[in-house]
Amino acid sequence: MDIKVPAVGESVYEAVIARWLKKAGDVVAKDEPLCEIETDKITLEVTSEADGVLSITAAEGETVKIGAVIGSIDARGPGAEPAKQGADAAAAAKPEVKPEAKPEAKPEAKPEAKPEAKPEAKPEAKPEAKPGAAAPMSPSGRKLARELGVEPADVQGSGRGGRITNADLIKAQGTRQEVAEPVKAPAASVPPAPPAAAPKPAQEPADALGRVVRKPMSQIRKRIAERLVSVRQHTAMLTTFNEVDMSEVINLRKKHGDHFQTRHNVKLGFMSLFVRACCAALQEFPEVNGSIEGDDIVYHNYCDIGIAVGGERGLVVPVLRGAEKLSLAQIEQAIADFAEKVRSNRIALSDLEGGTFTISNGGIYGSMLSTPILNPPQSGVLGMHNIQDRAVVVDGQVVVRPMMYLALSYDHRIVDGKGAVGFLKRVKEYIEDPEEMLLEC
């Protein structure tokens, strides 16, 4: 049974084999994960469709087309055993014929091959350890060799591909007089390709000192880079800022948090309140919830809110569909589910498609203030930041309040400054007086 790259979306045409979870020849069970494939949008697991033995035809890191065969499962059944026994019996019969053909060659080959091979093999084995031709080394290594007075051609490299490291040069400096004499004499007979070229393959090439590590860019990271550059080139992005007093929201969580978790089995976080505040504000400022298609502006009468979630392979933005109709508990549960899917690489392409507005919470990483970047074709993205106690003036008095900076990046082609500032001010008002927002729902 062939293992094929599954279709993950209409706009995805190829994928990269991120890693194989099983090795060739392993016995696998039905529905057991075999490998992870990575597209420019998501990473997902390919599972076995039957019990059997795994064969692999596409290596890790290889780019394959959607629908391409990357391996196969040899089904194991009652009929497989006799076939294998018959094959073993046929294989066992072959060695009986070979002994008759070999005796004729052996008496002639042995006297000539043995005396010549043995005396030459031993002296040649030593020069191969230190070939006459200089092994590859870094510029800093060549400089160190000159300072130590060591001839690179006399040093056996222990690095990747026979590369000479600084440690090899320092070690050779103490023994160069003993090592140089036996190496130089037979240098002419040394084969051009030293056997030291076959050390363990490394996926992450590095220089002699390990200061630089080079890794291929993942498909997701490539896609993120392309989109971010595209936003800068094709939108008139601008950012406006405000700050919000989080006192009322914090008191609300303290007062009702335990009951909320007991009733709904999920914690009451800040994100659900900001989603609710944004949905209410988007209804008042529909241009922030719109997008450009050709020469038209498309206004959405619904709120599909994207929630930026950071994962090991990059940032993804799953979408809360119809967020304006969801309760706080439904929003919190959906966000928790998305976070778990991202951690376990189970996020689906359908979870990421669409979206009319995005919220990104850099505060969970300690960000004080930043400029969020648009998620095209959306025209707005709200950035939340860290909550810090700061001195502010309230009713003519200097008081300490938990404050958060908010940032709204918007596409100035659709959204004017007045609309952007008005939207952000409305979100601030809803957060500072959440009862008004909750009573309207």
User: Which structural domains are found in the chain, ordered by start?
Assistant: 2-75 (2.40.50.100), 130-216 (4.10.320.10), 219-440 (3.30.559.10)
pLDDT in tens, 111-161: 444 444 444 444 444 444 444 455 666 666 777 777 777 777 777 777 766
Is residue 41 very low, low, confident or very high in pLDDT (cuts 50, 70, 90)?
A: low
Report, as residue numbers or ranges, the catalytic residues: 412, 416
Is residue 350 very low, low, confident or very high in pLDDT (cuts 50, 70, 90)?
A: confident
Is residue 187 very low, low, confident or very high in pLDDT (cuts 50, 70, 90)?
A: very low
Q: What is the pLDDT of residue 130?
A: 44
Is residue 260 very low, low, confident or very high in pLDDT (cuts 50, 70, 90)?
A: very high
Is residue 302 very low, low, confident or very high in pLDDT (cuts 50, 70, 90)?
A: very high
* pLDDT greater than 90 at residue 315: no
Q: What is the pLDDT of residue 440?
A: 64
SS (H, E, C) the chain: CEEECCCCCCCCCEEEEEEECCCCCCEECCCCEEEEEECCCCEEEEECCCCEEEEECCCCCCEEECCCEEEEEEECCCCHHHHHHHHHHHHHHHHHHHHHHHHHHHHHHHHHHHHHHHHHHHHHHHHHHCCCCCCCCCHHHHHHHHHHCCCHHHCCCCCHHHCCCHHHHHHHHHHHHHHHHHHHHHHHHCCCCCHHHCCCCCCCCECCCCCCECCCCCHHHHHHHHHHHHHHHHCCEEEEEEEEECHHHHHHHHHHHHHHHHHHCCCCCHHHHHHHHHHHHHHHCHHHHCEEECCEEECCCCCCEEECEEECCEEECCEECCHHHCCHHHHHHHHHHHHHHHHCCCCCHHHHCCCCEEEEEHHHHCCCCCCCCCCCCECEEEEEEEEEEEEEEECCEEEEEEEEEEEEEEECCCCCHHHHHHHHHHHHHHHHCHHHHHHHC
Q: What is the pLDDT of residue 245?
A: 97
Across the range 178-184, mean pLDDT stands at: 45
Q: What is the pLDDT of residue 192?
A: 52
* pLDDT greater than 80 at residue 275: yes
pLDDT in tens, 226-237: 878 888 888 999
* pLDDT greater than 50 at residue 224: yes
Across the chain, mean pLDDT equals 79
What percent of the chain shows pLDDT beyond 70? 74
Is residue 76 very low, low, confident or very high in pLDDT (cuts 50, 70, 90)?
A: low
Select the more confidently predicted residue: 79 or 379.
379
pLDDT in tens, 387-440: 999 999 999 999 999 999 999 999 999 999 999 999 999 999 999 999 877 776
